[in-house]
Structure 1
Amino acid sequence: MSKATLERGVNILKEQIDAPVAAFFSSCVNCGLCAHACLFYTETCDPAMTPIHKLEPMRRLWEQEYTLPGRIKKWLGLSKPVSDAELSQWSKLAYQNCTLCGRCSMVCPAGNDISYMIRKFREGLSAAGHAPEGLIGATTRAVKLGSPMGVTMKALNAQAKHVTADSGLEIPFDVEGAEYMVLLSSMEIINYPEYLQAVAKIFDQAGKSWTISSEAFEATNSGIQIGSSDIAAELVQRVVDAAEKLKVKTVISPECGHAYTAIRWEGPNLIGRPFTFKVQHILEVLDDLRQQGLLQVEGVEDGRLTFHDPCQLVRKGGVIDEPRNLIKMVVEDFVEMKDHGKMNWCCGAGGGVSAIEEAAEIRLKAFNRKKKQLSRLQVDGLVTACANCRIQIEEGLEENDMEMPVIGITEMLANHLVEKDTGGEKSS
């Protein structure tokens, strides 16, 4: 690491100390409550996993540069400067041991948004060259290929042909003037292609026009995860350009938590202007269709089911009632986890953690928190609304020899659609 790169990283880190961050550091009372809200701490009992501790280099930089006592200590040599070795050490805490879930922020008695601070901290770490290789690779692929997993239009077209073969429904690409433009995550395209078919079936029944842009179909924003506002803005701009080119009314974020945060809440600020279209999560759209009487279902799911709340969707996005409204349409025996809604426990794989190979062990250890929640319920299956959560939960269940099906809400509803009457022929 060159001195120039380190200085650039430290300078960028210094720039991230805005008024909210400074206020948060000033008001922290070191009570430790955030530790008990973090599944990385609760499942390891390691003091280093305390959320506010993960920000120590940034806190010291704030103290040295922006407080009188800190400046005096720095001048007297009583406060060591932030070093490259220290940033390298803290990179593991900020990236591998934090999903940016925001649960710690919910319990802070001073109202400090710790996940916001760690997001800012990642900006400096990334600029100083201390982002994990997995996230660097994902971000590079997102910029160059349009997808963090390297999924191309060729792969998406192949999945679209499978949907048509299975259901008889065409997947519309680049349709100008459609009401909805659907975004997808690479995980859905590769791991859960049934999501695309579910969307097609639902919009066909509801009689809604929709499309997918061949120029911007990916919803995942790895720029947010790695901590690069410039890259995050570039990826948002692609979606904005595509939506405005096709003149759509609404852009739909898929069953992916961070994708929703990136486009719905951070997007306009990243590109510096309001959108000319509306942004909704797929669950918000489905609940709108329910209220309009356009989501006609029949039958119910077998067994007792519960719901895992994706952190970015529920805690940060406020989409709490919608999934429950939809689930109760087709589930008679529904039970909530002890901690649910805005205080739900993270699955352990968000915030880019799932893309970091070195984090596999701690990621599965963090899953023990979800394992404990599920063990108390004795349920037959789990419903969620995030493909990343779904992959983590399925892997965690397998690791712990727990047999339990996991399904996405969109797919579950599509399985219960009332078949359309097409004058003698039926399609679903």
Structure 2
Amino acid sequence: MSKASLERGLNVLREQMDTPTAAFFSACVHCGLCAHACLFYTETCNPKYMPVHKLEPMRRLWEQEYTLTGRIKKLLGLSRPITDGELAEWQELVYNTCTLCGRCSLVCPAGLDLTYMIRKLREGMAAAGHAPEGLIGATTRAVKLGSPMGVTLKALQAQARHVKEDSGLDIPFDVEGAEYMVLLSSMEIINYPEYLQAIARIFHQAGKTWTISSEAFEATNSGIQIGVSDIAAELVQRVVDAAEKLKVKTIISPECGHAYTAIRWEGPNLIGRPFGFKVRHILEVLDELREQGLLRVEGVEDARMTFHDPCQLVRRGGVIEQPRNLIRMVVKNFVEMKDHGRMNWCCGAGGGVSANEEATEVRLKAFRRKKKQLDRLQVDGLVTACANCRIQIEEGLEENDMDMPVIGLT
């Protein structure tokens, strides 16, 4: 990369320096607890994967330019400048071995949010040209085509026709004044089309009006994953514009963890104003329907089942009891993993890791943590509520010769 690219990345990192950043680097006591909360460290025992170590380039820049001691050390030649080669080396640590799951942040005794800091570092890495090719491609497709996987409106409409053929139910597009506007992730459209039919059946039974926008049906926000806030804001704005055009009351985020974080928790900050509508995850909506007596089921699953908590939905999003309320409606023998809820272990593929081919080997190593959880339980099947988690878990089970169905809760 050129000297100009390096300086552009460092300038973006300088822009990221704020009060929380100063508090983080000043308060961190390097106790190492974050390491034992990170599955990339626990499953490899490689010290370079310690979460706090991943922030080292940003810490050095902060020390050198924003602290008196650091400035003196820099003048005396006692500290090294950040180089382009160093940022290139750190790409693996920042993108391949961090899913932004937040477990390290949860255990930090000083209350420091490492996920927040990694997001900031990714902004500088992307500006310097050190984001993975897979994420660059996904982000480019999201901006140009509206989907990181290149899924078009015609592909979605084809799936809608299949739902009509199978169930007799129409998938409503561009209905003004509907109560709900449903978002989908490309993975659900391509890998798990049964999700769309489930939505149609549930809302038909509940008597709720809903629609899909032909202008903004994609929930995935690649700008969040790669670390470019301008792109993240552009993708959020598309959804907001569509919701306001259709005058809907609530946007529903699908079974996708980071999409929920992007639109509900970060969306208003990204576009600089509050929404004029509610944002709910599909499980929140389903649990509300359950409370209203509108969610009726028949039969019960006798198999021994457990639930994998998607990090962005549960740990960082607070949707903890809703999936359990729903599972207990249909599963007779539901058992929890040893670490569950807020403390559940990540699947190993979030935060853009799954879009990064060079991370495949370490991603599957990280899955061993989930394998240990499942081995201990001896369950017949696993339920989750994130398409990305589902793909990673299915691949991990296959890699480890484990025969177990993985089911989306919706």
State the TM bucket, normalised to the shorter chain.
Answer: over 0.9
Q: Deviations over 1:24-64 (max 9, x none)?
A: 11000010000000000000000000000000000000101
- In structure 2, the gaps of 5 or more residues are none
Q: Deviations over 1:328-383 (max 9, x none)?
A: 00011000000000000000000000000000000000000000000000000000
Deviates more, 1:42-51 or 1:294-303: 294-303
Q: Give TM-score scaled by structure 2 length.
A: 1.00
Q: Percent identity?
A: 84
**Distance in 2, Cα, partners of 1:154 & 1:305:** 36
5 Å-filtered alignment, 1:163-182, equals: 163-182=163-182
How far the C-alpha of 1:109 sits from its partner, in A, is 0.6
5 Å-filtered alignment, 1:18-417, equals: 18-410=18-410
Secondary structure of 2:117's partner? helix
**Distance in 2, Cα, partners of 1:367 & 1:313:** 19
**Distance in 2, Cα, partners of 1:2 & 1:46:** 31
Aligned partner letter, 1:209: T
How far the C-alpha of 1:302 sits from its partner, in A, is 2.9
Aligned partner letter, 1:282: I
**Distance in 1, Cα, partners of 2:162 & 2:77:** 66
**Distance in 2, Cα, partners of 1:129 & 1:63:** 23
**Distance in 2, Cα, partners of 1:96 & 1:115:** 14
Aligned partner letter, 1:121: L
**Distance in 1, Cα, partners of 2:68 & 2:109:** 25
How far the C-alpha of 1:4 sits from its partner, in A, is 1.3
Q: Deviations over 1:289-340 (max 9, x none)?
A: 0000000111111310000000000000000000000000001100000000
Q: Deviations over 1:217-263 (max 9, x none)?
A: 00000000000000000000000000000000000000000000000
Secondary structure of 2:56's partner? helix
Aligned partner letter, 1:239: V
**Distance in 2, Cα, partners of 1:290 & 1:55:** 44
How far the C-alpha of 1:120 sits from its partner, in A, is 0.4
Secondary structure of 1:78's partner? coil
- In structure 1, the gaps of 5 or more residues are 411-428
Secondary structure of 2:315's partner? helix
**Distance in 2, Cα, partners of 1:109 & 1:285:** 34
How far the C-alpha of 1:18 sits from its partner, in A, is 1.3
Aligned partner letter, 1:51: P
Secondary structure of 1:224's partner? helix
**Size of the alignment, in residue pairs?**
410
Q: Compute the RMSD of aligned alpha carbons.
A: 0.4
Secondary structure of 1:332's partner? strand
Secondary structure of 2:303's partner? coil
How far the C-alpha of 1:21 sits from its partner, in A, is 1.3
Aligned to 1:417: none
Secondary structure of 2:332's partner? coil
How far the C-alpha of 1:71 sits from its partner, in A, is 0.6
